Amino acid sequence: KRKTAGITGGAGYIGSHIIADLLERDVEVFVLDNFSTGNRRNLFEHAHYHLIEGDVRDPNAVQAFLAHRPDVVFHFAASKAAGESMVDPVKYSDNNLRGTLLLIEELVKAGIGSFVFSSSAAVYGDPQYIPLDEKHPRIPANFYGYTKMVIEDTLEWYSRLTGLRYASLRYFNAAGYDVKGRVRGLENQPQNLLPIVMEVAAGMRSELQIFGDDYDTPDGTCIRDYIHVNDLATAHILAMEHLLEKRENVTVNLGSEKGLSVKEIVEQARIITGRPIPARVVGRRPGDPAALYASAAKAAAELNWRAEVSDASKLIESMWSVYREIKP
């Protein structure tokens, strides 16, 4: 029987990449999106899907979405800027807590058994050691990370009490664009390093601000684990199969296990794009840990997953293939 998947936030950056892979595997796809940040371009280019235009906080929209009785629900509809969550907590409790709780409640009421949740390395907070493994204490340093932790714990309770099965996937720094070119919609007002570097390279903004070069790292700039969105997509497919076939919960890091500094990214981007990419060092951004990267051993053991296309050159080349077409 053909598998069916429901995807909230399917017009967004990560959701659209997962849909591209699901469609290739002949999974029937139902999307719930309110287009607050999603890009219609991400959906119109895909061959065949069902769109329910609506909000995860609207019970009627969620019920219409779940009426298609998907075998599994992937939940991408949420806010994701850690810094913003500290100045606008209401936005994050509303979108990320209230919206997700409502979705889980409706899922359980409808008797839909499998849920794939976009969690984050932000649940760990300031690293006590690196590489970060899943046993690292969860002490979120921002409200965004707190919302992810609360949902992880709620899923664990729901699993015990109702039999709901879940995958909590703790993404490190998602980046890159589809290596096959299927997704080309730009993010609106990106807050993350790589899309900002691309916007500078493409002439959409004048310079990059580097948030501090006095960290205790080899070149003084922060080190992060950048994971290609195609590698994330593969992990989601494996997580779906794990839930549907092994019928076990899974909580894993999704990272490349490699750390790249801000300066390394900028230097690689200059080489690959051939553009100057002006960058200016400014003060530190509050809440930024100096260095973090993942251990992905648990995802390898439980999902047979490992990053394949997350090296700096593939990350940047795949993004540049989209951004180079922009006319400033």
Amino acid at 258: K
Closest to 13 in 3D by CA, of 182, 186, 180: 186
In the list 164, 210, 243, 316, the residue contacting ligand UFG (rule: CB under 6 A) is 210
Interface mask toward ligand UFG for 90-119; x: CB under 6 A: ------------------------------
Interface mask toward ligand UFG for 62-91; x: CB under 6 A: ------------------x-x---------
323 is catalytic: no
**Stretch of residues binding ligand UFG (CB under 6 A), selected from 16-24, 188-196, 230-238, 270-278:** 188-196
In the list 224, 228, 258, 298, the residue contacting ligand UFG (rule: CB under 6 A) is 224
**Stretch of residues binding ligand UFG (CB under 6 A), selected from 31-39, 46-54, 190-198, 304-312:** 190-198
* C-alpha distances out from residue 270 to 202, 220, 308, Å: 11, 19, 23
* Beta carbon nearer to ligand UFG, 43 or 227: 227
- CA 210 to the chain's CA centroid: 22
* Beta carbon nearer to ligand UFG, 28 or 84: 84
* Beta carbon nearer to ligand UFG, 165 or 224: 224
* C-alpha distances out from residue 180 to 25, 176, 295, Å: 15, 12, 27
The answer to whether the beta carbons of residues 5 and 73 sit under 8 Å apart is yes
The answer to whether the beta carbons of residues 197 and 226 sit under 8 Å apart is no
**229 is a contact residue toward ligand UFG (CB under 6 A):** no
Q: Which of 92, 144, 166, 171 is catalytic?
A: 144
- Dist. CA 266–CA 195, nearest whole Å: 11
The answer to whether the beta carbons of residues 254 and 231 sit under 8 Å apart is yes
In the list 29, 116, 122, 201, the residue contacting ligand UFG (rule: CB under 6 A) is 122
Closest to 135 in 3D by CA, of 165, 170, 100, 159: 170
**209 is a contact residue toward ligand UFG (CB under 6 A):** yes
For the chain, the maximum distance between any two Cα atoms, rounded to a whole number of angstroms, is 57
Reduced to 3 states (helix: H, G, I; strand: E, B; else coil), residue 53 is: strand
Interface mask toward ligand UFG for 250-289; x: CB under 6 A: ------------x----------------------x--x-
CA angle 218, 220, 225 (to 5 degrees): 75
Residues binding ligand UFG (CB under 6 A): 80, 82, 120-122, 172-173, 191-193, 196, 208-211, 222, 224, 262, 285, 288
Active site residues: 144
